[in-house]
Chain A
């Protein structure tokens, strides 16, 4: 119908592709290496063992500075996540204290219904303890970061459902520390050179290193290497779960919904054709 239009659109598309290199140069976008994640794609799911390892990293390394105020202890035992047992979660919660005006002394041990307590009383305290920088809360951090792809790759992302920009960035950040900054780059006191961080100078010291955390066995007896690379993947996956706890059920429901819609569209089309048979149009 629109032959002229489609030709022009094709020309426009080609023209826009020529603009693609410029798009990269305009922003200070750092090349982020994409990783493979168990939760990506239509059939993505969380790996329970990975989430449990990731939680261990979070708790032993990150939680001293980073909060997770939107996460409740009970989330850790809900389906689609690390799926710790109720007993484990109760015991874990009881190790932490939460504010409660009705309790004696204003504090009491946490229960599963409580949220993860903040490591600091307020923002100022957090900054004072971290050289003026504010460690961001982890609850939605994996969705608060992203990757900007050049044209036409960002178009492809719409078809692959690429939502892992945040965790790709986080993985690259955690593994992106350099001992020595490149030639000519001044690294001030309390700063560290990082490949992935915008501006390359980050206030957080490298938090992970090989052998820092000792992984036990998974529930199925599996083990994982105690390396920086593995820690980074695991904690990033855990952060994705914190940001999107319902990812698995969402994708499973989505598959059924799309299947239904395609089937129903087929039936509707057949209905429409049958109705219109014999009408000149």
Chain B
């Protein structure tokens, strides 16, 4: 400050400047936050973050592919044979060890729900194909078993299971 002022008023003056600066900083932050938050997903996108799907039309041994958050998702109604086959696999044989129970919901073990992107480079694997009775990715030859776990090929991980829960025996909410 250039002008000469009585020293007795220095403290009062400084407090005013500090207070003004602090209030200004709060105001600036309050302005900046919405400008950044507008980048976050908007309400119409968030509305599609969670979907409910009725699985009753899916027959045993049948699979459908639905869309969730812009991604393809397999919903497969597994046969008891497929479930048994998955549970018989020792964990030591798995590149990404996961039990079948960990990949399904209790009481709804016949329903296998997974994001349909190969964990290698993202292609959609073909169902009921490959050497392990599950899925086969034609892009680079990854084989998945009846629980969607990687058994052979370049993919590093099992097919991703999204967050979901069964609202009833036939209604599943994904996301």
Contact = CB atoms under 8 A, between A and B. Distances in A.
Interface of A: 72, 74, 78, 90, 102, 111-113, 260, 263-264, 267-268, 270-271, 274-275, 277-279
B16 A113 contact: no
Given A277-B5, A278-B4, 19 more contacts: A72-B44, A72-B47, A78-B43, A90-B52, A111-B51, A111-B52, A112-B47, A113-B44, A113-B48, A263-B23, A267-B16, A267-B23, A268-B20, A270-B20, A271-B17, A271-B20, A277-B3, A278-B3, A278-B5
B16 A274 contact: yes
B174 to A, nearest CB: 13
Contacts of B19: 267
A260 B16 contact: no
Contacts, number: 40
B48 A274 contact: no
B44 A271 contact: no
Question: Of A111, A113, A270, which is in contact with the most chain B CB atoms at under 10 Å from its CB?
Answer: A113
B81 interface: no
Contacts of A275: 1
Interface of B: 1, 3-5, 13, 16-17, 19-20, 23-24, 27, 30, 43-44, 47-48, 51-52, 67
A278 to B, nearest CB: 5
7 contacts: A72-B47, A90-B52, A102-B67, A263-B23, A268-B20, A270-B20, A274-B16
B27 A260 contact: yes
A165 B85 CA distance: 70
- Secondary structure at the B interface, as helix, strand, loop or mixed, is helix
Contacts of B5: 277-278
B16 A264 contact: no
Contacts of B4: 278
Contacts of A72: 44, 47
A102 to B, nearest CB: 8
A49 B44 CA distance: 25
Nearest to A109: B54
Contact of A264 (B3, B27, B51, B52): B27
A246 B43 CA distance: 12
Contacts of A263: 23
A276 to B, nearest CB: 9
A263 B17 CA distance: 14
B13 A274 contact: yes
Contacts of B48: 113
A111 to B, nearest CB: 7
Contacts of B3: 277-279
